[in-house]
Structure 1
Amino acid sequence: MTKRHVHLPAEAEDGLHAFLEEVDSRLANDEESTCEVVEDVLVDLHGDRDAYERWQAGEDVSPAERVRLQGYDPCNATLESEYYAEKDEEAFKTSKHLQWLWRQFDDTPMADNVEFALRFRQMLADHLFAECGENCRFFKGITFTYGHNIEVGDNVVVHDDVHLDDRGKLTIGDRVSLSDGVHVYSHDHDIVDQTEVTNYHTTIEDDVRLTFDVMVQAGVNVGENSVAGARSVVQSDVPAHHVVVGQPAKSVRVKPGWESVAEPLDTDPPNERDSRVLPYDLSEDLEVFDEFQRDLRPPDADGRDDD
C-alpha cells in the first residue's frame, strides 16, 4: 500500500467536525434558503465578517468592497451553465448555489488543508449530486456543469482539475479513480452548427482508472476494471478489464489475471452511443440567441461548385 492514515490534532478535529455539522445541518434545513447559507459560509471562510456587517448596517464601503461582498451571494453570480437553454430550471436553483460554494471554497486557504477540504467537499457532494456514495475523495479544482446530473458510487477518488460535464447525465461507479486533468463529457456539438447540442448518458463503471489528462467523449461506456492510459482520447466503449491508450484510444491488452472473463483483444465493441442520447424539449417562449452569428450554409449546399 502507498497510503497511510493521517489525523488532525484533536483541537483542529473538533473545530472541523463542528463546522461541517453546522453547515450540513443548515443545508438540509428546508426553512433556511440555500442562497443565504452559502453567502453566510463564504463570508466567514473568506474572513470578511467585519466588512460584511458594516455594509449590512448601511455604513460606507468602497465600490470594490461592495462588489466583493455582493459576490458571496450566489444570486449575484452567473455561471456558464446558466445560459444553457435545456437545463432543469428547478434543479438548477439549488445546484447553482451549491456549485458556487464549492468553487469559492476552492479559492480559500482552507482548500489546501487536505483533510478539511476532502470532508467539506464530500459533505457538499451529498447535497449537490443526484447521488454520492461514502468515503469519496474530491480534490481541488474539480468543475462540473450543474452537479445535479452526477451519480457517484462509494470510495471514488477525483483528483485535481478534473472536469465532470453533466449537461447530459454522468454515472460513476464504485472505486473509480480519476487522475489529474481528466475530462468526462456528456454533451456534444453538431459538427456544422455548434449551437446544436446533443446530450448523452456517459458511464464510468466500477473499478475504472482514468489516468492523467484522459478525455472521455459523451455517450461512451467505460467498462468495469478497465484502464485508460495517460492523455488517451476515449471515443468509443471500453470493454471490461481492457487497457486502452492513444488518440483515439485503442485496446492494447487485457489486465493480467482477467483474460478468462474479458472480451478478446481483436473484438470490436458495439457502438451503442446513439442509444444513450437524452432527448430534451425547449419551451416555446424561450428567448434564444446565437453567440456566433455565422452563415452556416456551405458553398456547395445547392449541389453546385462555385466554379
Structure 2
Amino acid sequence: MTKTVFDKMRHSEPIDMRTSEYQPARDEMARTSSLMYAINRDWLPMMENNTLNAKLNEALDGNIDEGAGILPPAQIDFGNQMHLGKHSFINHSLMASAAGGIDIEEDVQIAPRVNLVTVNHDLKDKMIIKCAPVHIKKGAWIGANATILPGVTIGENSVVGAASVVTKDVPDNCVVVGNPARILKKIEE
C-alpha cells in the first residue's frame, strides 16, 4: 500500500513542499482554513442556532468525539490530522499546527492561547518539513499560553503550567513548568 503525504507526515518522514506529492496537504489546508475562517467569523450565531459543534466537526473531518468542543477563535491548519476526544475542551485562541497529527484523548482541558506544534523544517532546506505528532493523554490540563512542540506526549492527568514550553515527553501524573518545561512535582493519586 502506498503511503499518502498525511501518513508520511504522521511518521516523521521528510516531505518537500515544492513537489506534487504535497498537493493533497495544500488542499487540506485550504479546506480547513476556509471552514475555520467561517467559524471564527460567525461562531456566536452558530452557538445560538446550535450549529457550531457540527461545523467544528466538519473542520476536523469528523474527528470530534461526543461532548468535546472548541471555543473560537481558533487557528487549525490540517483538520484531518487532529482528533479531539470525548468531553475534552479547548478554550479560545488555539493555534494548532497539526500536519504531523494531534491526538487529544478524553477529559482534556486546554486553556486559552495554547500552541500545539507538529511541524519542523530542515535546517539546510526550509522547504522540507519533518513532522512529529503531539499526543495529549486522558485527563491532562494544558495551561494558558503553553507551547507543546513536535513529538511530545503529555501523560495522563498531567498539568502543563501556563507559558511553559514542552520540548520532551511528560510522564503521567506530573506538573511541569518553565522553558524548557521541567517536572515540578508528581501528582498523588
For the residue of structure 2 that corresponds to 1:148, the secondary structure is: helix
Deviation of residue 190 (structure 1)?
A: 2.8
The answer to whether structure 1 residue 155 and structure 2 residue 87 are counterparts is yes
Q: Is 1:231 aligned to residue 170 of structure 2?
A: no
Larger Rg: 1
Counterpart contact for 1:92–1:146, Cα < 8 Å: no
SS at match of 1:122: helix
Residue aligned with 2:79, SS? coil
Give how far 1:220 is off: 0.5
Task: Give the C-alpha shift of residue 114 in structure 1.
Answer: 8.0
- Say which of 41, 46, 69 aligns to 1:107: 41
Matched-pair contact (CA < 8 Å) for 2:164–2:181: yes
Equivalent-residue separation in structure 1 for 2:153 and 2:141 (angstroms): 13
Give 2:181's match in structure 1, choosing from 241, 244, 249: 249
1:172 aligned partner: 104
Q: Residue 206 of structure 1: SS of its match in structure 2?
A: coil
Query: Could you tell me the TM-score, scaled by structure 2's length?
Result: 0.80
SS of residue paired to 1:244: strand
- Give 3-state SS (helix, strand or coil) of 2:41's partner: coil
Report if aligned partners of 1:95, 1:128 keep a CA contact under 8 Å in 2: no
User: Relative to total residues, which structure has the larger strand share, 1 or 2?
Assistant: 2
Give the count of matched residue pairs: 171
Residue in structure 1 matched with residue 53 of structure 2 by the alignment: 122
Q: Find the partner of 1:202 among 134, 137, 140.
A: 134
More helix by share: 1
- After superposition, give the CA deviation of every residue in 1:94-128 in whole Å (9 maximum; x if it has no partner): 673354133123223xx2358438x4332123333
Name the CA shift for 1:238/1:97 in 2 (closer, same or farther; >3 Å). same
Instruction: Work out whether 1:137 is the aligned partner of 2:69.
Output: yes
Q: 1:122 to 1:220 in 2, by over 3 A?
A: same
Report whether the alignment pairs 1:184 with 2:116. yes
Which amino acid is the alignment partner of residue 176 of structure 2?
V
2:31 corresponds, among 97, 100, 107, to: 97
**Matches of 1:251 and 1:215 in 2, distance apart?**
15
Residues 127-165 of structure 1 deviation map (CA, whole Å, 9 limit, x = unaligned): 332521011221111111121111111111111110111
Q: How does 1:48-63 map to 2 (within 5 A)?
A: none
What's the offset of the Cα at 1:188?
1.0
CA drift at 1:197: 1.3
The sequence identity of aligned pairs, in percent, is 21
Closer, same or farther: CA 97–127 of 1 in aligned 2, 3 Å = same
The AA in structure 1 aligned to 2:106 is D
Structure-2 change in CA distance of 1:153 and 1:245 (3 Å): same
Matched ranges for 1:15-94 at <5 A: 84-85=17-18, 87=22, 89=24, 93=27
Tell me the TM-score normalised to structure 1 length. Answer: 0.51
* Structure 2 residues not aligned, in runs of 5+: 1-16
Q: Alignment RMSD, CA only?
A: 2.4
Between 1 and 2, higher relative CO (CA 8 Å, sep ≥ 6) is seen in 2
Structure 1: gaps (5+ residues): 1-83, 259-307
